[in-house]
């Protein structure tokens, strides 16, 4: 897997990795981790497509952004894709990365051929008209804990990814090795800013504008983004298909990697057959 750097117009750096050949699949990671979370998946997909895995600003090896909001991060990803000549792509995003994919999808136009949303919700927290999220009090408690014990809180959140579907000790060690231990801690200001943004973010207004074929993959046991959030996405995105992994929680590509890769391959093959 090859790591490269892209320099933004303002001088900041974005680190990204690529592997494989064929149609371009961009995989966007979630909050507080890096593109390395997709190492295992990318290795299994490299004969089917070219996989690009950026480190979001303030994550992995990428420079932080002064104002870390979804729209601003989407600006960066758009500049990066145009700068590297990304051409026509399929966007794939996990959790925060899925929300970014929805934001970015509305900008790419004909350069977007498909989208994969993994463990994604249009609204992260509960509200008077949205029941399928985390209580705002829980998000605020997470913010307070980041102030008190930053690294420990990130570790706790990583473990929450596996609630109700904890892998074996050996499997968990393997995941930690490639997904966490090979990457530096994310920028503290960035993680807090993004979490504050997620507390109020609502993307339901974007759903009617998502016109590309969309594959949704969600864990039935997900407690970070409940499965009913994915059902809402499927009901409001015109050309969508929802696949629920019964034995997975928030990261189905870690809980059920073989099944996950199978679904991605079948989706990409289906896209290639479309007129």
> Could you tell me what percent of the chain has a pLDDT over 90?
94
Burial of 119 (0-12, 13-18, 19+ CB in 10 A): buried
Packing angle, helices 136-148 and 150-160, rounded to 10: 140
pLDDT of 167 reads: 94
- Strands 50-54 and 112-118, by their bridges, are unpaired
Distances (CA, A) of 244 to 51, 117, 212, 222: 23, 12, 20, 10
pLDDT of 16 reads: 98
Place 130 in a pLDDT band, splitting at 50, 70 and 90. Answer: very high
Backbone angles phi, psi at 271, to 5 degrees: -60, -40
Packing angle, helices 96-108 and 70-83, rounded to 10: 60
Tokens 């990583």 correspond to 158
pLDDT digits (tens, 9 = 90+) for 38-71: 999 999 999 999 999 999 999 999 999 988 999 9
Fold of 2-273: Rossmann fold (3.40.50)
69: left (phi over 0), alpha (psi -120 to 50) or beta: beta
In order, the DSSP letters of 51-71 are: EEEEPPTTSTTSPP-SS--HH
pLDDT of 66 reads: 87
pLDDT mean over 244-256? 97
* CB 190, CB 57: distance < 8 Å: yes
CA distance 29 to 226: 18
pLDDT of 274 reads: 83
The yes-or-no verdict on residue 1 having pLDDT over 90 is no
SS3 state at 240: strand
pLDDT digits (tens, 9 = 90+) for 174-214: 999 999 999 999 999 999 999 999 999 999 999 999 999 99
Non-local (6+) Cβ contacts of 109 within 8 A are none
- Strands 2-7 and 24-28, by their bridges, are unpaired
Token couple for 242: 């929802």
CA distance 171 to 161: 14
* CB 254, CB 262: distance < 8 Å: no
Residue from 97, 105, 86 nearest 23 by CA: 86
């Amino acid at each position: 897997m090859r790591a490269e750097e892209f320099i933004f117009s303002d001088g900041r750096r974005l680190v990204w990795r690529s592997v494989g050949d064929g149609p371009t699949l961009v995989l966007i990671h979630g909050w507080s981790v890096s593109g390395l979370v997709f190492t295992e998946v990318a290795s299994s997909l490299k004969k089917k497509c070219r996989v690009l895995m950026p480190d979001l600003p303030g994550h992995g090896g990428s420079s932080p952004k002064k104002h870390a909001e979804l729209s601003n991060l989407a600006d960066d990803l758009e500049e990066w894709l145009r700068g590297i000549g990304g051409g026509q792509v399929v966007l794939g995003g996990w959790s925060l990365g899925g929300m970014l994919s929805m934001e970015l999808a509305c900008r790419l136009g004909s350069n977007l051929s498909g989208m994969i949303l993994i463990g994604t919700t249009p609204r992260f927290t509960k509200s008077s008209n949205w029941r399928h999220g985390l209580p705002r009090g829980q998000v605020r408690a997470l913010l307070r804990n980041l102030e008190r014990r930053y690294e420990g809180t990130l570790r706790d959140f990583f473990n929450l990814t596996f609630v109700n579907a904890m892998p074996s000790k050996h499997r968990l060690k393997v995941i930690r090795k490639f997904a966490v231990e090979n990457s530096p801690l994310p920028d503290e200001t960035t993680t807090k800013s993004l979490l504050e943004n997620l507390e109020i973010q609502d993307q339901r207004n974007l759903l009617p504008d998502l016109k590309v074929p969309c594959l949704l993959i969600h864990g039935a046991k997900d407690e970070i983004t409940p499965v009913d959030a994915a059902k809402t996405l499927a009901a409001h995105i015109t050309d969508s298909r929802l696949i629920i992994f019964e034995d997975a929680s928030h990261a189905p590509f870690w809980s059920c990697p073989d099944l996950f890769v199978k679904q991605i391959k079948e989706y990409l093959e289906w896209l290639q057959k479309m007129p």
